[in-house]
Structure 1
């Protein structure tokens, strides 16, 4: 989704540049997308009876104060007088609405992104992930289907993709769904080990792309390369990151269990947990997404490394690496953190947020500029 808005923003700014070159034109109005807040989605602890929450960070309008705004907790409950639900997964903007998937509550909330008030709810089975192509919302359902939601009517249709789809990304006029077979560890995740490729125009699966064991989160660089974390078997087979090229060729990139793409760069976090103590040690590598050559301009780990990463994200302008984190490897019932770094890895900000932060969302506001 961040790729869609990045392209839109660049197109608008290009229009502004061209218009300003003429001295004879009348003033023109341009609507420009602006990110004014960051929403942190905290999963809570379903087995401990802790509901999910949304926290809101107000963003500044300059580089010097961008992360210095007020942090407000539990904005969904404050706006609606009810719980967000159990085990929320992620959220995505499409048009003027914010969509949030809530796994154990079997629904996707449709929210006003400014007020966080409920517009609608769409029932769907165990939604693991939501994304959009700018027209429809797509949901990875844990029961083996991907559901398409019409954003005007909320009508649904679904296709079967394989057991326990874990994540969705849009690239190259297709929807990619990682198929984990995550509940079949006893049989080595035998029916997973693939990424389903779905044609967006026909909403039909065109092929399965073989990848490593237990594929999960994915991201896309600006060249259309799709990267997937293959989580292994949590024992003898370690997590690794693989790349799916535009021609569907698969290459191994590096060991790691968290990824995010900024423009043409891939960031790989490899976090190893000592389960007896809860201590997590994280190594970070940065790669060129096309050449897979490691980037030497890497200042991560020098100070203030996130103690137990749960996910990697970036803002809509792709200037920052944002890490959601538990306080330690056993911190599923303790308040967590969000760490913010420059694209080179310099530490910028630490936020105290809710229990088990799992993803971040950047709703967009629009401002009218007169040129």
Structure 2
């Protein structure tokens, strides 16, 4: 059988590994930062009805400009945004891919602050864009001075800021984002995939769009909207940026069924987001209990917690998996990451992790 090494694959892709996380069927899956709460039944019925109506017209191509969806996304985000400033695709990863296709490529560079979302470097590699990993401050924080220093040193064509950061959960201040947007000559992408889980009152980078035409704010419906299986991501930017993305997207890339489902979810945004407070509460509960047990939970503004103080992360991962609890090894020494789930799921995790607590012999 032919192997990958036998194929005339691009040289810069040789030796690369695809993105992936363990996919195990377990009672408590807390490894990929999904919203573990189901979609409310009333919303589900409306979404199904909208999809059924769309099925009748599937002999025709969908609205290539997904006009109604862009209007709904603009209304949801507020900040005076209009249709011309919105873009959407099959998950925020495809949104980011469009940006790298349009503004990256051979001879260009993209910069992020490691550790950060692993798909950034993979998307850069897939588009022939050189990836630069700049350092963070202590505790995975990112100050304006540290960020701007990296911008001035490397002068990248694109900057990717994860706010809050994945996989660490670290919030990113608007001050740092503004400093980067002021210092960078290229496109600055602020990935706000987890923004809805931030503490109430946390400002969004959307506030900076009017004065920064090369700033892009990316969002997703996968997390707070419990819509991971629907694959809907979107961004807000200057209309000229949106025009650039039309040059690289595939024709009719957003299916009529996807558009219908997303419109159904957005029509019930208050109900869909009603679970966010509970998830935030479980996140705080996880952090407090892990700290009590002697672990080191890092500051998080997302729906997950990264925690240190784990002597043997793989052994703990396997032990929890044997009990039907799946969390995430992310490759950072002595750390593991857990998604904030339902109260029952959180309880199961906390009871299981207690057996490995640094303070268990105290």
Q: Which has the higher contact order (CA 8 A, sep 6+)?
A: 2
* TM-score normalised by L of structure 1: 0.27
Structure with bigger strand share is 1
* TM-score normalised by L of structure 2: 0.27
Structure with bigger helix share is 2
